[in-house]
Amino acid sequence: MVLEIRGLAHDYFSGTALSQIDLSLGKGQHSLLLGPSGSGKTTLINLICGLLTPQCGTIRICGEDMGAARGSEADDIRRRHVGIVFQTLRLVSALSLFDNLLLAQRLQRGGKDPATARALVAALGIEHRIKARPAELSQGEAQRAAIARALVGEPALLVADEPTSALDGENMRRVADLLLENAERTGTTLLIATHDERLKDVMPNVVELTPPGAQRRVA
């Protein structure tokens, strides 16, 4: 099992963010976490990626206990197994788009594969921006660049937080198709958290999250 979550719960001072979440995804499987603001989508993504520590429950990624990992141990699990698309752009500002992708490859895989990086930016329709720095990209271009960076290392698990929110219908479909095609080609497990109802037409495997007190369990 690539991702296995059991009895996951997390609270903030302001109240409960997640309560008793169960979710399992095997190699190449995909799921859409759909819910409005306040339903805990981003909290769940941060817990899976080891950016938050769960107060209750377990998270295992490729058999490793991410929920119990701390500091550099969590960083190492994330580096070896997880690709992340954040809501905010997290590219190195001093590097071009292409160099950001090559850096991500080197950090995740220990080497560079320029051909794979070029193929990704072409598939996402941003090859004409390959020499641009992050500050020179439009919001939609930056979002697609962040997706390319997450995919370029061919992770076992790809998690994406609102990857299509800034995109029009055509580019939303292009990004969704690319994510699904990549999962099928490489066996990557895909988890997308979003409020974008349009994605239900592309990804029928939907897990609906509601505000705390009514979360749905999925095994």
Model pLDDT for residues 13-65, shown as the tens digit of each residue: 666 678 788 999 999 898 999 888 778 888 898 999 999 988 899 999 999 99
Tracing tokens 């990209």 back to the chain, one arrives at 137
Contacts of 115 (CB under 8 A, 6+ apart): none
Contacts of 2 (CB under 8 A, 6+ apart): 25, 26, 27, 29, 61, 62, 81, 156, 157, 189
Give the predicted TM-score (pTM) of the model: 0.83
* Contacts of 60-63 spanning 24+ positions with Cβ under 8 A: 60/1, 60/3, 60/4, 60/5, 61/2, 61/3, 61/156, 61/157, 62/2, 62/156, 62/157, 63/1
Q: What is residue 97's three-state secondary structure?
A: helix
Model pLDDT for residues 76-98, shown as the tens digit of each residue: 999 899 998 887 778 899 999 99
Residue 192, token pair as written in the block: 């997308």
In whole angstroms, what is the distance from residue 5 CA to residue 23 CA?
Answer: 5
In whole angstroms, what is the distance from residue 151 CA to residue 12 CA?
Answer: 31
Q: What is the mean pLDDT of residues 177-181?
A: 82
Residue 167, token pair as written in the block: 């995109």
pLDDT for residue 190 is more than 50:
yes
Tell which residue, 203, 191, 205, has the closest CA to residue 4.
191
